[in-house]
Structure 1
């Protein structure tokens, strides 16, 4: 009996599922027969769940949950060896989140005080 091919499901923060994905072993590139667009991920990456059809996460470079993720890249079928859509996610490191928060606070204060930070 032939072993069923393992597929992956990515569940976004709003509950939307991207199913039937394949994954390069030990890599972080998901492949999809259906079109993948940036709009699918907009505002939906605060918590991302990744699961394997057989429950076995070995061979996956991702943890089962990503917090504060970002879409790194979408590749169109013409740009992939298997002719499928492909995408890569990554979890934003805590230090980068902290720096972005501080920058946003500085920008807000500068705007409120009508100060141009470029002049400082």
Structure 2
């Protein structure tokens, strides 16, 4: 099982975290399964950017982003070349390091 290292984030993982993920799960699914409550306002349907992450290690092992995801990422806060929507980034066999940006474009957080 690949390991996802989450860099420290003041709200979701104040001290950082390391979790094991299932190959074939999205990064978002893996985080939520391990109680890292990343925002996902559209319920993982690739309709918003609230689950935006920056993949610091292992980016090339992920499935390539589709055009719909790339179009949405253009609206993400803190966009970087290795940005992905965590609901669309599918975990392969390689370990990953991800950073959850401090902010999102979501103005009203809801508990999921």
Return the TM-score normalized by structure 2: 0.29
Bigger radius of gyration: 1
More helix per residue: 1 or 2? 1
Taking CA–CA contacts closer than 8 Å with sequence separation of 6 or more, which of the two structures ends up with the larger relative contact order?
Answer: 2
Return the TM-score normalized by structure 1: 0.28
More strand per residue: 1 or 2? 1
